[in-house]
Structure 1
Amino acid sequence: MIGGNQVTVYDFRDLIKSKYYNLSKGQQKVASLVLEDSYFVALNPASEIGKQIGVSETTVIRFCYSLDLKGFSELQTMLREQLWSAENSLENFHKEKLELAGGSNFYTNVMKKDCSKIQETILYLNEQDIHTAVQKLTKADNIYVSGMRASFGAAHWLSFALGIIKDPVYLYRQDTDDLYQVMNQIKENTAVIAISFHRYAKETVHFAELAKKRGAFIISLTDSPISPIAKYSDCVIHLFQAKRSTLDAAPSLFSVMNAIVSGVSVKMHDQFKQRQKQFDLLEINDMFYME
């Protein structure tokens, strides 16, 4: 309950995000911990929370007041209720993993763990965010996809997949593209997808910042709702990560990207079918091996 109103996990997280940049530095640390390690906050006293992140117990309590909560106990009650609901959804899946522990099928078990990560992402994902992204991508005059370093492969795949459905879709390549010329192509009806995971490449954040100033709609795929890219994003698609790792995030990231591409293809069904016909008319014998 906040201000006498019942809130969902999505409402609560959105509330923290909306207030984040108005909080003190110490309270921002508390907010980050609540968003990124709800279990720890739900199960430990305020003094231990403060010790963990280097702030006072008073700062933790003031953070609760900033959210219109009555105190730290109300924050813990809300978090425990939300986590209990999530644990029920994962209970059977977790039992299955315990049964697999210690087995010899290492590679199979790794793939099963990937499935578990996707399931966790689903639990924390706000489907409305994906719907918003799909709507903007469908209506955009042009699309730019940006992702640097470990995120570049994902950005390349996403730009290719979206480019099959509509055009123009561009992949921003820092090593060959002139940033000034690219920004001249970005306008109010441009959609930018920025992929940014820990340790958050500055180039991606800078690209989003400049595109935002040009009036583009910024969609970010990231591992934290308060990651550096979120500040410049109109739509943050948060992929839950128990541990920050771009490589470990790959299964969930590609699953979410596939969901986005699928949504765009459904929204643009007629155009997609027309482009498919045009593709089939091409002389492809010199491009692909034919069965």
Structure 2
Amino acid sequence: MGNDNILTYLVENKDRMTKKHRHLVDYILKNHQDVTLMSASELSKQVGVGKTTVLRFIHELGFDSFHALKKELLKLQKSYSNKWENLQSSYDRDDDGRVVNIVWKEQLRLLDDMMTPHLIENYDAAIELMAKSRTINLLGMRPYRAAAIYMEALVREFSPDIRQLSQDSESIMDQVLHLDSEDVIVIFEYSPHLAKSVDVAEIAQQRGVPVIFITDNILSPIIKYSDIILELNSSQQYFTLIPMMSLIEIMVVELGQRKSSDSVDNIKQLSTLLKEKGYMVE
């Protein structure tokens, strides 16, 4: 598996596996917490495959036993749980006046570690999907609404084909029902996850609408409804959207280049209009 955690590896390699192994992957991604309490025989019954298939699957993943797989899943669950607890407790810390230095260094570390080979590979697929889609629909709830609104503001400078799902939570489902396979939904959300975001992703999958999910949590229930996952590092010390915002700016620049001729013309026309109306000064 290299440096990938087990769930990342399963998501990325599922299509290369046999049909029965894909069934196991689907079940584990959806029920990873329950799997840690099962025996290999119980897992085989739940998935509808033989115990021999389960054991072969485990060995092909590089584990010596089913117990070793469960330990890896438990380790991941503990890691994400601890991270959220650390974020909550960070607001109670007394850093003796050095908050600015500590937070700045942490943000620089996150940016340095951001562009992993796994992220770059999925990033290329995400850009390709957004570039060819009829509309790009953005969803971010609570603090992640800021990320969705920021991306909308930047893209709208050169393209009208961007829509915001985050502003009116009452009508989100109505808007999703008007989308199809020619559109794409981009969901911004770190852990813990909101039920409405999960519902949007599930309905999108049912309607054949591709979903790009930007997150820090490969254990998210949104994963199983997502076509492309952009996994970012998040701080275990302080809450920050710096990696997410940086990724947005990278994506916007590339989308602008993909639509370069239209982008330049649209921005020039907008700039001229704003100057003529006195909304912009040199």
Going from structure 1 to structure 2, the CA distance change for 1:63 and 1:162 (only over 3 Å counts) comes to farther
Contact 1:162–1:169 (CA<8 Å) still a contact in 2?
yes
Going from structure 1 to structure 2, the CA distance change for 1:126 and 1:148 (only over 3 Å counts) comes to same
Going from structure 1 to structure 2, the CA distance change for 1:285 and 1:189 (only over 3 Å counts) comes to same
Q: Distance in 1 between matches of 2:232 and 2:108?
A: 14
Instruction: Tell me which residue corresponds to 2:193.
Output: 200
Letter in 1 for 2:145: F
Contact 1:129–1:235 (CA<8 Å) still a contact in 2?
yes
Q: Distance in 1 between matches of 2:264 and 2:199?
A: 36
Runs of 5+ consecutive residues of structure 1 not aligned to the other structure: 1-6, 32-52, 80-101
Q: Which 4+ stretches in 1 moved above 4 angstroms? A: 10-14, 53-59, 62-65, 102-105
Which of 199, 209, 225 does residue 202 from structure 2 map onto? 209
Letter in 2 for 1:262: V
Instruction: Tell me which residue corresponds to 1:135.
Output: 128
Superposition pairs for residues 22-101 of structure 1, below 5 Å?
Answer: 22-23=27-28, 28-29=32-33, 66=58, 68=60, 69=62, 71=64
Deviations 1:61-89 (A, max 9, x none): x88952512516xx89xx9xxxxxxxxxx
Which of 266, 270, 275 does residue 275 from structure 1 map onto? 266
Going from structure 1 to structure 2, the CA distance change for 1:258 and 1:177 (only over 3 Å counts) comes to same
Task: Figure out how many residues of one structure are paired with residues of the other and give that number.
Answer: 234
Which of 254, 265, 271 does residue 245 from structure 2 map onto? 254
Going from structure 1 to structure 2, the CA distance change for 1:241 and 1:71 (only over 3 Å counts) comes to farther
Q: Distance in 2 between matches of 1:11 and 1:176?
A: 33
CA drift of 1:216 comes to: 1.3
Letter in 1 for 2:256: S
Going from structure 1 to structure 2, the CA distance change for 1:58 and 1:116 (only over 3 Å counts) comes to farther
1:16 equivalenced with 2:16 (yes/no)? no
Instruction: Tell me which residue corresponds to 1:218.
Output: 211
Q: Distance in 2 between matches of 1:116 and 1:170?
A: 32
**Structure 2 counterpart SS, 1:23:** helix
Q: Distance in 1 between matches of 2:261 and 2:253?
A: 14
Contact 2:29–2:219 (CA<8 Å) still a contact in 1?
no
Going from structure 1 to structure 2, the CA distance change for 1:123 and 1:136 (only over 3 Å counts) comes to closer
Instruction: Tell me which residue corresponds to 1:187.
Output: 180
Going from structure 1 to structure 2, the CA distance change for 1:11 and 1:150 (only over 3 Å counts) comes to closer
Letter in 2 for 1:21: D
Deviations 1:98-118 (A, max 9, x none): xxxx99654133212111122
Q: Distance in 2 between matches of 1:24 and 1:274?
A: 45
Give identity over the alignment, percent: 16
Instruction: Tell me which residue corresponds to 1:154.
Output: 147
Instruction: Tell me which residue corresponds to 1:40.
Output: none
Contact 2:29–2:224 (CA<8 Å) still a contact in 1?
no
Deviations 1:245-275 (A, max 9, x none): 8x72411111111121122112221121121
TM-score, L = length of structure 2: 0.69
Contact 2:137–2:164 (CA<8 Å) still a contact in 1?
yes
Letter in 1 for 2:103: V
**Structure 2 counterpart SS, 1:255:** helix
Contact 1:145–1:194 (CA<8 Å) still a contact in 2?
yes
Letter in 2 for 1:253: M
Instruction: Tell me which residue corresponds to 1:50.
Output: none
Which of 156, 159, 166 does residue 159 from structure 2 map onto? 166
TM-score, L = length of structure 1: 0.67
**Structure 1 counterpart SS, 2:130:** helix
Q: Distance in 1 between matches of 2:168 and 2:110?
A: 32
Q: Distance in 2 between matches of 1:24 and 1:214?
A: 21
Q: Distance in 1 between matches of 2:29 and 2:198?
A: 23
